[in-house]
Amino acid sequence: MSTPAYHPAKSRKAKPKTQTWEHPKGSGIRIEERVNETEGKAFNSSFRVRVPAKLTEGKREQWQRKDRKEAERLAEERLLLLKKHGTEFSKIPASVQRQAAHAWSLLDEHNQKTHLALTFIEVVKAGMAALSPTGGQRTFAEVAAELRASKVTRYKAGGLDIQTERGFRKRSELLEKTALGPKLVSQILPTDISKVLTNLSTDYSPRSVLNYRNILSEISSGVIINFAVGVFTALSKALISLWWAGSPQKRSRCQIP
């Protein structure tokens, strides 16, 4: 009887050693180092963050980060948020949380570039107002007419002085004749506001232009104008210097009728 051929068992390649640890200590959040391989060869590592269901009071969470520091920072942030907001935060879908994280990074970058300190809530509220502003499907001219009628009623009732009523009426009627008049309030962009204010600055003093800006703010309930304020403020210094450099005849024309 022939003896069977001997085939030595193939030796298994030892998997690279990885580690798992808890971070922060006592939190229950565990971070696992994962070795990424291609054709059996390790080329780098990534880190998986596991947040237990007992912390989220819902489903277990898993997050992936490229390096250890990012993974540990994420674990710390998740622990802080879950402790602060509890089940309320855990109810937010993971996909929305990722969107919020991305939005936060955009806001942080914007604040650094512009040296502002806009908060997350401020930006969300402004965005909501811009996407569904007061005025709805009414045009700028329609809203302005309603406000003029309201001010006339208040004036007749003794709740408004004649100068305020007259100033609003004259300025709002002039603004209606601009490109804003036929536009829906919900479709007016910050660039539209900036163009109108810039055009007005060629004929009126900076103080008068500010009065027009206030009228725009009132008609749009502050929704649209707040986005344009930054642009206008940046231009205001230049406009003031240009105006004072103009001729006395031009400055004498800068009185609102």
Locate 210 and state its tokens.
């500010």
Q: What digits encode the pLDDT tens for the residues 113-157?
A: 888 777 777 777 766 665 555 555 778 888 888 888 888 888 888
Tell me which residue has tokens 């880190």.
47
Residue 249: pLDDT over 60: no
Q: What is the mean pLDDT of residues 233-241?
A: 43
Locate 48 and state its tokens.
């998986």
Residue 223 or 12, more confident: 12
Q: Tell me the pTM.
A: 0.38
Q: What digits encode the pLDDT tens for the residues 12-68?
A: 655 556 789 999 998 899 999 988 776 666 667 899 999 998 887 778 889 888 889
> What pLDDT does 12 receive?
60
Residue 1: pLDDT over 50: yes
Q: Which CATH number fits domain 134-252: 3.90.25, 3.30.700, 2.60.40, 1.10.150?
A: 1.10.150
Residue 9 or 75, more confident: 75
Residue 74: pLDDT over 70: yes
In the chain, list all ranges with CATH 1.10.150: 134-252
In three state form, how does the secondary structure of the chain look? Answer: CCCCCCCCCCCCCCCCCCCEEECCCCCCCEEEEEEEEECCEEEEEEEEEEECHHHHCCCCEEEEECCHHHHHHHHHHHHHHHHHHCHHHHCCCHHHHHHHHHHHHHHHHHHHHHCCCCCHHHHHHHHHHHHCCCCCCCEHHHHHHHHHHHHHHHHHCCCCCHHHHHHHHHHHHHHHCCCCCCCEHHHCCHHHHHHHHHHHCCCCCHHHHHHHHHHHHHHCCCCCHHHHHHHHHHHHHHHHHHHHHCCHHHHHCCCCC
